Amino acid sequence: MKKTIAAATIGAASLLTAGGLFLSSYTMNGTRQTLEEALQWQRDHYDLSWFDRLETESYLVPSYDGYELHCLLCRCPEESNRYVILTHGYTDNRYGALKYARLYLDKGFHCILYDLRGHGENAPTFCTYSIREGKDLYEIIKDSYSRYGAEITLGLHGESLGAASTIAALQYGPQVAFAVADCPFADIENVLRTRAPAPAVGWASLWAKLRYGYAFSEMRPIDALKNSQVPLLLLHGAADNFISPENSRRLYQAAQGPKELHLIPGAGHAQSVLTAPEKYAAIVHAFLEKLSMNQSE
């Protein structure tokens, strides 16, 4: 009997270890889309003829550790000192943010698209779910002020991992006018626990720390909101079964500055802008107009 119990215990521990090792590797190193695949997906889902007519400029921004980030400026046709940095989701690349660009181009914003660390044209590396990514975004914020002028109006808009990274960047004190976060996660562990048992997630977090230097338990963009007063607009698909809308509710509660939360009926993960494009645009534009009114008072 003792041998049977010992064997069962060892077997269970082995399964948890193996499962944790696999989950850490799979989570940190998902397959990325190519630029061509991402652009084709966008073309298959909506009209991109406006993008083909835009004046664009590619450039590189060195991050805090020397890692190079590929960026693309999409110029608004009219003269403007308004800019927004658009951050795509996990496994996607800068072209994945195009579905949000038109919202801002129509309001006179130049759009800065870029590849998240380990995505697009950037050098391959693992994902830290907002830790390094938030620091990268902060470097792009600083570069944008240096490149386009200290007097510009600069905002942020991110989707999924890009939304979490947008929120994480706020802890570094960037002087941005606003942040829009679409389907963000408050912490990555709650997302993983919807796909694997809590003990396996715990083991995976340990393995992630040992193998990559970052534990899942440290990947908590919600903590970045403790001292931020940046106006925050949260949008989330009400039918999102990948990252629960509860994440946006938690982030809304944690936000210290002006804030709004909108759930889009019937929208799945990262689908709000495609499910209800007019409603989505109205929410974003009303948020921007409200900020403009506040700034003029």
23-32, 193-202, 215-224, 286-295: the lowest-pLDDT one: 286-295
- Interval 257-263 mean pLDDT: 97
pLDDT at 47 over 50: yes
Label residue 247 exposed, middle or buried (CB < 10 Å: 0-12, 13-18, 19+). buried
- Interval 66-86 mean pLDDT: 97
Asked if residues 228 and 171 have their Cβ atoms less than 8 Å apart, the reply is yes
Confidence at 11, pLDDT banded by 50, 70, 90: very low
φ/ψ (deg, to 5) at 212 = -120, -10
Q: Give the tens place of pLDDT for each residue, 162-221.
A: 999 999 999 998 689 999 999 999 999 999 999 999 999 999 999 999 999 999 999 999
Label residue 175 exposed, middle or buried (CB < 10 Å: 0-12, 13-18, 19+). exposed
Tell me which residue range forms the domain holding 182. 34-191+219-296
Asked if residues 184 and 164 have their Cβ atoms less than 8 Å apart, the reply is yes
pLDDT at 16 over 70: no
Q: For the domain that residue 253 is a member of, what is the CATH number?
A: 3.40.50.1820
pLDDT at 4 over 70: no
* Identity of residue 220: R
pLDDT at 258 over 90: yes
85 in any annotated domain:
yes
Which pLDDT score, from 0 to 100, does residue 17 have? Answer: 64
Residue 39: other Cβ atoms inside 10 A: 18
pLDDT at 272 over 80: yes
Which pLDDT score, from 0 to 100, does residue 268 have? Answer: 98
**114's tokens:** 């870029």
209 in any annotated domain:
no
108 in any annotated domain:
yes
Q: Is 121 helix (H, G, I), strand (E, B) or coil?
A: coil
Our count of domains for the chain comes to 1
* Identity of residue 209: K
pLDDT at 274 over 80: yes
Label residue 22 exposed, middle or buried (CB < 10 Å: 0-12, 13-18, 19+). middle
Which pLDDT score, from 0 to 100, does residue 158 have? Answer: 98
203 in any annotated domain:
no
Which pLDDT score, from 0 to 100, does residue 133 have? Answer: 98
Q: Give the tens place of pLDDT for each residue, 108-122.
A: 999 999 999 999 999
168 in any annotated domain:
yes
210 in any annotated domain:
no
29 in any annotated domain:
no
Which pLDDT score, from 0 to 100, does residue 1 have? Answer: 54
282 in any annotated domain:
yes
Nearest to 119 by CA among 76, 181, 162: 162
Q: What percent of the chain has pLDDT over 70?
A: 92
Centroid of chain to Cα 99: 14
Which pLDDT score, from 0 to 100, does residue 19 have? Answer: 65
* Identity of residue 148: Y
Which pLDDT score, from 0 to 100, does residue 30 have? Answer: 87
Which pLDDT score, from 0 to 100, does residue 7 have? Answer: 41
State pTM to two decimals: 0.93
**What's the mean per-residue pLDDT of the chain?**
92
| Pairing mode, strands 259-264 and 232-237 | parallel
Q: Give the tens place of pLDDT for each residue, 126-146.
A: 999 999 999 999 999 999 999
